[in-house]
Amino acid sequence: MISEILASPDNPEETTTKADSTIFPFKNTLKLYLYNGQGNKLWSLFEQKTNLKREQTVLRLLGFLTIYLAYGWNSDFICNLIGFLYPVYASLLAIEFPEKYGKKKWRIYWTTYVSLGLIEYYRDIFAFSIPCYWLGKCLFLIWLMISEETSGIYQWIIYVFNLFTRFLLFAASHGVIEWEHKYNKPVGHPFLANVAKLLNYQLPATWEKTTEKKMRFTLLRETEEYNSIVTKFKEAMTGKYTEIVRIERIQNETWYMQYLTHHLEFKSRLGMDAEQRLYHGSTKEAADDIVKSWFNRSFAGVNGTVYGVGVYFSSDAAYSHGYARLNENGERNMFVARVLVGKTTPGNSSMKTPPPGFDSTTDGRHIFVTYHDVQAYAEYLITYK
């Protein structure tokens, strides 16, 4: 079946690297996708039947598309159709196999696609004032389709959306202030009431300032921050480890800001601080993914679902130690996380969400299960032997 061919990429000997991607980023990204992407087997079959190289075929098609979108009839429809068909198929694959294809990339893609559509409401401006607009949009969408979510183009889009989100929060905050000034009483909605506080949020005083796209910062052993983590870790882990290799502070501002939003909502709704600092053991590979992609519930169930299908944390580091698998260097990884436990109730394996009125499930002792990706923030990553 064609779907099986498309959904089962392998790694042929003929491949390419990113060696000169800084010079020809689009060309090299295209080659990487053609030889390592979802349609690799289909392209291999095409080459056997026609004796034509896949990249040459695609470049010829792009050449024809370029001329047609620049001068052809109904170019807006053709552009939007191209930007719609394959992403729908890829998104369905990502929903069915999230651990293999991931969903974050396609969430960003569709947000971008819809945003461009909203801007194009004033279509005459684009059709007549900007030369070759539909050609440029089509090439841009194709670039998004074949790029990885960690690529520069996706990071740039996330940055733009973050700026736009802050602008919306600023506008909402201004509305809250005007309301309270005019009517001399607080606004009723908990989220709006906390918008102004969120805008004035401050990063933790321990965070280091940096201009690099860096999220992991190794703590110095002589600092109070380092020793406070080690003291609690030692209490629970006596006899289970020989040394702490390093402790890293996680500085993911986007994740932290969304976590703060939920923290404020929990405090407003429950009338108390429902946050706890808990442990989460993981493999090295999973730890790397968590730092970049948060505690993603798409991977829930890898280590069991006894108390619910969610992300598991424990107040007992010795328990989380059982899920911190050894890597090739004989090291283990464990997160110290800030978790919004909220109102919790005993869980069971059939629960995919907490019961109405509750925020998490528990074993009644030390295990807590969350069901929202930003209900927890990975504050530190302990690497130990």
How high is the pLDDT of residue 3? Answer: 38
My answer on whether 296 and 149 are in the same domain is no
Asked whether residue 115 is assigned to any structural domain, the reply reads: yes
My answer on whether 165 and 284 are in the same domain is no
Two tokens, residue 8 = 């089962």
Of the chain, the percentage scoring pLDDT greater than 70 comes to 74
Of the chain, the percentage scoring pLDDT greater than 90 comes to 22
Instruction: Check: CB of residue 280 under 8 Å from CB of residue 337.
Output: yes
How high is the pLDDT of residue 336? Answer: 94
Alpha-helical regions (H) of the chain: 2-6, 25-36, 40-50, 54-71, 75-96, 98-101, 104-119, 123-124, 133-146, 152-183, 190-199, 224-237, 253-270, 284-293, 317-321
Mean pLDDT value across the chain: 77
Which pTM was predicted?
A: 0.53
Two tokens, residue 309 = 């299908």
Span of 27-36, 138-147, 304-313 with lowest mean pLDDT: 27-36
Last residue of a domain, one of 171, 199, 229: 171
Asked whether residue 250 is assigned to any structural domain, the reply reads: yes
| 39 — pLDDT class (breaks 50, 70, 90) | low
How high is the pLDDT of residue 17? Answer: 41
Rounded to 10 degrees, the C-alpha dihedral 132/137/142/145 comes to 180
My answer on whether 144 and 266 are in the same domain is no
Instruction: Output the domain CATH number for residue 252.
Output: 3.90.228.10
My answer on whether 117 and 231 are in the same domain is no
Asked whether residue 96 is assigned to any structural domain, the reply reads: yes
My answer on whether 248 and 356 are in the same domain is yes
Asked whether residue 210 is assigned to any structural domain, the reply reads: no
User: By residue range, what is the domain housing residue 238?
Assistant: 216-384
Q: Is the pLDDT of residue 276 over 80?
A: yes
| Euclidean distance between CA atoms 319 and 282, whole angstroms | 12
My answer on whether 229 and 137 are in the same domain is no
| 76 — pLDDT class (breaks 50, 70, 90) | confident
**In sequence order, what are the beta bridge partners of 281?**
334
How high is the pLDDT of residue 166? Answer: 66
Higher pLDDT, 318 or 152: 318
Q: Is the pLDDT of residue 177 over 50?
A: no
Q: Is the pLDDT of residue 13 over 90?
A: no
Structurally, the chain folds into a number of domains equal to 2
Q: Is the pLDDT of residue 51 over 50?
A: yes
**Mean pLDDT, residues 191-212 taken together:** 66
Asked whether residue 365 is assigned to any structural domain, the reply reads: yes
**Mean pLDDT, residues 199-204 taken together:** 66
How high is the pLDDT of residue 299? Answer: 61
How high is the pLDDT of residue 334? Answer: 94
Spatial CA neighbour of 340 closest among 272, 248, 250: 272
How high is the pLDDT of residue 227? Answer: 93
SS in 3 state form for 141-181? HHHHHHCCCCCHHHHHHHHHHHHHHHHHHHHHHHHHHHHHH
Higher pLDDT, 185 or 100: 100
Span of 234-238, 258-262, 300-304 with lowest mean pLDDT: 300-304
My answer on whether 231 and 344 are in the same domain is yes
My answer on whether 269 and 368 are in the same domain is yes
How high is the pLDDT of residue 10? Answer: 44
How high is the pLDDT of residue 168? Answer: 66
My answer on whether 236 and 316 are in the same domain is yes
Q: Is the pLDDT of residue 94 over 90?
A: no
**Mean pLDDT, residues 195-209 taken together:** 68
